[in-house]
Amino acid sequence: MFKSRTFGSFTVGQFAEKTRVVTAEDVETFAKVSGDYNPLHFDREYAAATPFKSRIVHGALITSFVSGLMGMELPGTGSLVVSMKLKFRKPVFLNSAVTTKVEIMKLDRRGFITLACVCSVENKIVVNGEALVSFPRDESS
Amino acid sequence: MFKSRTFGSFTVGQFAEKTRVVTAEDVETFAKVSGDYNPLHFDREYAAATPFKSRIVHGALITSFVSGLMGMELPGTGSLVVSMKLKFRKPVFLNSAVTTKVEIMKLDRRGFITLACVCSVENKIVVNGEALVSFPRDESS
């Protein structure tokens, strides 16, 4: 079920990618956890009066896609996010297909991995940045 | 329902704070959105064999508390996160009472607000960093 890797199997340039449509239900579910019911995300009329013209998805929901891909795929099981910096470049609208990609940029012998993180919609970058993740060096080895 | 402010009403040092207990249900709800079913968060036996000894909460779930506080309280309605950088300093265990605080560090005439973000559990910092948020300058003014 989980992809478990050893630290030694990682290489710079290795990447994982996943595309997912973000729905109104995701936005509602996310609000339950975050407590963020900002009308930009929930109120059609309010959003219509903003420059976005339409409800947009929480930036932190897109952040969770990045975190999920790292936790499940690369580096995968056992990895822990140490720090993360992201720029939210464009609004993401409901029902967009968001492609999240994480790519290994740097490997540190002490068990730290730096990954570039990019989310895009129709080939346009909506969110990007990087994450530092720790990974147990001796797992399954 | 929403606290709507004008840009001119913000001052450096202004802050908002909220304490919330993070439950196993929150972790399950968050996984539905993020897709992150990493066993560190879900598998009691797996977690028991790690240095943490016990299941921990997703870092990105704690990130969502920061984002929620900014969206709902300070700067509040209409604010949009432009960028965010956070360090995950300590693990957060299930049923911890997490206090999230955001404080205005800098105001930029063009409508950008820099906030310091701190999450703590029993007065120990678990997550901290900063966010750059945009806020419509002429809203309700």
Say which residues have a Cβ less than 8 Å from residue A60's Cβ, sequence separation at least 6. Answer: A30, A34, A36, B60, B63, B64, B66, B67, B68, B81
Q: CB–CB of A38 and B71 under 8 A?
A: yes
A35 vs B40, B72, B85: nearest CB: B72
Would you say A114 and A130 are in contact if contact means Cβ atoms under 8 Å apart?
Answer: yes
What ipTM was assigned to the predicted interfaces of this complex? 0.90
The span from the CA of A99 to the CA of A19, in Å, is: 4
Q: What value does the CA radius of gyration of chain A take, rounded to a whole number of Å? A: 17
| Residue A20 forms contact with B (CB below 8 Å) | yes
Which of A1, A23, A33, A133 should be substituted to probe chain B, the one whose Cβ sees the most B Cβ atoms within 10 Å? A33
Is residue B138 pLDDT above 90, yes or no? no
Q: Chain A partners of B58 at a C-beta cutoff of 8 Å?
A: 64, 67, 71
- H/E element holding B67? helix B59-72
pLDDT at A26 > cutoff 90: yes
Q: Are B43 and A2 in contact (CB under 8 A)?
A: no
Q: How confident is residue B4, by pLDDT bands cut at 50, 70 and 90?
A: low
CB contact under 8 A, A38 and B83: no
A57 CA: distance to closest CA in chain B (Å): 11
Per-residue pLDDT for A3 more than 60? Answer: no
pLDDT for A140 beyond 50: no
Beta bridge partners of B118: B101, B128
A50 close contact with B: CB closer than 8 A: yes
CB contact under 8 A, A29 and B26: no
pLDDT at B75: 94
How large a percentage of chain B has pLDDT more than 70?
94
When pLDDT is cut at 50, 70 and 90, the band that residue A139 belongs to is very low
Q: Which residue of A has its CA nearest to B62?
A: A34
Convert the pLDDT of each residue in B77-133 to its tens digit.
888 999 999 999 999 999 999 999 999 999 998 899 999 999 999 999 999 999 999
Q: What is the pLDDT of residue B139?
A: 45
Is the per-residue pLDDT at A37 higher than 50? yes
B53: left (phi over 0), alpha (psi -120 to 50) or beta: left
pLDDT band at B17 (very low <50, low <70, confident <90, very high): very high
Residue A1 — very low, low, confident or very high, per pLDDT cuts 50/70/90?
very low
pLDDT tier at A96 (50, 70, 90 boundaries)?
very high
Predicted confidence at residue B3, as pLDDT, reads 53
Mean pLDDT, rounded, of chain B: 91
Question: Per the structure block, which two tokens stand in for B40?
Answer: 């560190």
Q: What is the pLDDT of residue B109?
A: 84
- B13: number of CA atoms within 13 Å, CB side? 0
Q: Are strands A80-88 and A124-134 parallel, antiparallel or unpaired?
A: antiparallel
- CB of A37 within 8 Å of any CB in chain B? yes
Is A129 at the interface with chain B, CB within 8 A? yes
Distance from CA of B20 to the nearest CA of A (A): 10
Note if the bond before B75 is cis, omega within 30 degrees. yes
Kindly calculate the radius of gyration of chain B based on its CA atoms and give it in whole angstroms: 17
A63–chain B Cβ distance below 8 A for any pair: yes
Nearest-Cα distance to chain B for A12, in Å, is 23
Res B141: pLDDT:
40
pTM of the full predicted structure? 0.91
CA A44 to chain centre: 25
Q: Using the predicted structure, report yes or no on whether residue A6 has a pLDDT greater than 90.
A: no
pLDDT more than 90, % of chain A: 73
- State residue B40's pLDDT score: 87
- Which pLDDT does position B1 carry in this prediction? 44
Nearest to A37 among B58, B66, B72 (CB): B72
Q: How far is B72 from chain A, CA to nearest CA, in Å? A: 6
The whole-number pLDDT of residue A77 equals 86
